[in-house]
């Protein structure tokens, strides 16, 4: 029996994510791009519907993995983790289609999952896959309805963790920090695809760029937070003239805002400490303008290739790329006027785009990450010029990585103080967006996926006296 290309690709990518440590977005992009090139080389057109379904299956299964496993265990009467990896993945794929994709016939979801099991060399498990999926409840999934079937007396974090497919420890943290209503909204947001945003590098040409994108078949609307941001749907940005010509960079609006918080002026020296993949570097370098001293660094030399590619695609010159470990003293003699530290973090603000993170991260990781973040921030501050500004940022929602790090640094360094957003930042905001919406009482910048429809970001502005 044939298996659709979409399900074949999804099965392959999901196995690479779970057993090989790959990231879904990167692996899927590489697989779909390679597949399209092969088809075009053979004189065939790329099948967008296959790419769309493969993407839906990969991200859907990753987002809803815990709920799917819970249902599989009920029907198989054994722990999902005890099943063979290929069998488990085929079951998840079938269960996701039955529960969430009402346009797909149940027979196709079941039969092709059985065939995937056979193709993986697990023919003896095919009857199990068939039986489990045929007993599986059918969608559309409603959390409120499904909750009635959970055991009475189950702890709230456990209950929400199953219903919205997140680790219990993570849900418990958010319940304590945000309360039940905001936590439930956050969990729901993490299970919805976020819009694709891009930044127009020449803000004055935003209208022309938007029109170019529409001519290439994309739906375009203004950004939700920033004046020079666009939200796009309905096609591949990488295939548009605007992308090829270097007029735009694909970047979440919260990430764009972090770069703008540095308030780089013409001629100022700039250091981007954790630069890869280079999206924020573009904003910093263009603000500093030609002739300024701009340095972008990363601990992994191969990741600087991605930064170089971004600079070349957009025609951004004058940026020095340097490989260094930010947790150690940085290899520069002269200080910098502006520094950006977009620190490596848990990524809990990006679970909608990177759902696999929720299954890899452990609560114990937060302390190790915080120690690394503090080391990077201390070393960067040593290179901040007097009167200079440093922006510390993460795409994490966790206080250990955010305000706790900043508070400790300010307490131990009398020459550093908390600053405010540069005056010109307010002018970058979209109509109707206020500073009060984006900054808390301590002056920290925050976005929440369920409230801003962006990634969850934290940023603090620090100044050297």
Residue 16 corresponds to which tokens in the numbers above? 């690479």
Burial of 354 (0-12, 13-18, 19+ CB in 10 A): buried
395 labelled catalytic? yes
Distance CA 100, CA 109 (A): 11
Residue 31 corresponds to which tokens in the numbers above? 């697989």
The single-letter DSSP state of residue 137 is: P
Burial of 131 (0-12, 13-18, 19+ CB in 10 A): middle
Residue 197, beta-bridge partner list: 231
- According to DSSP, the β-strands at 336-342 and 270-272 are parallel
Distance CA 462, CA 465 (A): 10
By three-state DSSP, how is residue 71 classified? Answer: helix
- According to DSSP, the β-strands at 196-200 and 445-446 are unpaired
- 369: CB partners within 8 A, 6+ apart: 344, 345, 346, 400, 401
By three-state DSSP, how is residue 229 classified? Answer: strand
HSE, side-chain direction, 13 A CA sphere, residue 220: 23
Q: Where are the beta strands (DSSP E) in 146-240?
A: 196-200, 219-222, 229-233
**Through-space distance between the first and last CA atoms of the chain, rounded to whole angstroms:** 71
Catalytic residue among 198, 274, 345, 395: 395
Residue 204, beta-bridge partner list: none
Residue 130 corresponds to which tokens in the numbers above? 């068939």
Which of 48, 47, 61, 166 lies closest to 113, judged by CA? 61
Per-residue b or e along 298-318, where b marks 16 or more CB atoms closer than 10 Å to that residue's CB: bbeeeebebbeebbeebebee
- 303: CB partners within 8 A, 6+ apart: 276, 277
Helix (H) or strand (E) holding 115: helix 106-119
As annotated, the active-site residues are: 395
């Amino acid at each position: 029996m044939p298996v659709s290309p979409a399900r074949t690709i999804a099965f392959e990518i999901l196995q690479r994510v779970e057993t090989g440590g790959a990231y879904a977005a990167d692996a899927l992009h590489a697989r779909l791009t390679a597949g399209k090139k092969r088809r075009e080389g053979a004189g065939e057109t790329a099948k967008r519907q296959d790419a769309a379904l493969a993407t839906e299956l990969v991200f859907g299964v990753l987002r809803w993995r815990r709920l799917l496993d819970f249902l599989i265990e009920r029907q198989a009467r054994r722990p999902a983790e005890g099943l063979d990896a290929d069998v488990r993945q085929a079951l998840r794929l079938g269960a996701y289609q039955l529960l969430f994709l009402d346009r797909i016939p149940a027979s196709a979801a079941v039969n092709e999952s059985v065939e995937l099991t056979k193709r993986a060399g697990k023919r003896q498990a095919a009857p199990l896959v068939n039986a489990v999926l045929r007993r599986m409840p059918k969608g559309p999934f409603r959390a409120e309805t499904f909750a009635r079937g959970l055991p009475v007396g189950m702890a709230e974090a456990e209950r929400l963790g199953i219903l919205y497919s997140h680790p219990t420890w993570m849900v418990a943290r958010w319940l304590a920090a945000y309360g039940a209503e905001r936590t439930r909204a956050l969990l729901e947001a993490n299970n919805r695809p976020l819009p694709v945003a891009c930044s127009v590098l020449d803000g004055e040409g935003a209208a022309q760029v938007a029109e170019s994108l529409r001519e290439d078949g994309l739906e375009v609307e203004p950004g939700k937070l920033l004046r020079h941001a666009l939200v796009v749907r309905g096609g591949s940005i990488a295939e548009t003239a605007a992308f090829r010509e270097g007029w735009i960079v694909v970047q979440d609006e919260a990430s764009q805002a972090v770069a703008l918080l540095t308030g780089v002026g013409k001629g100022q020296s700039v250091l981007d400490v954790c630069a890869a993949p280079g999206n924020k570097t573009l904003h910093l370098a263009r603000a500093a303008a030609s002739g300024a001293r701009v340095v972008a660094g990363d601990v992994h030399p191969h990741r600087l290739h991605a930064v170089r590619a971004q600079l070349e695609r957009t025609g951004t010159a004058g940026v020095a790329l340097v490989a260094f470990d930010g947790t150690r003293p940085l290899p520069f003699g002269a200080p910098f006027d502006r520094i950006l530290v977009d620190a490596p973090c848990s990524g809990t603000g990006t679970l909608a785009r990177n759902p696999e993170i929720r299954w890899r991260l452990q609560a114990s990781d937060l302390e190790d990450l915080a120690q690394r973040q503090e080391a990077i921030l201390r070393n960067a501050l040593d290179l901040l010029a007097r009167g200079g500004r440093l922006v510390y940022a993460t795409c994490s929602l966790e206080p250990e990585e955010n305000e706790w790090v900043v508070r400790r640094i300010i307490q131990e360094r009398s020459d550093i103080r908390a600053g405010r957003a540069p005056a010109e930042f307010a002018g970058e905001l979209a109509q109707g967006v206020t500073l009060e919406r984006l900054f808390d009482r301590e002056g920290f910048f925050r976005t929440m996926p369920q409230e801003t429809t962006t990634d969850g970001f934290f940023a603090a502005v620090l100044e050297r006296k």
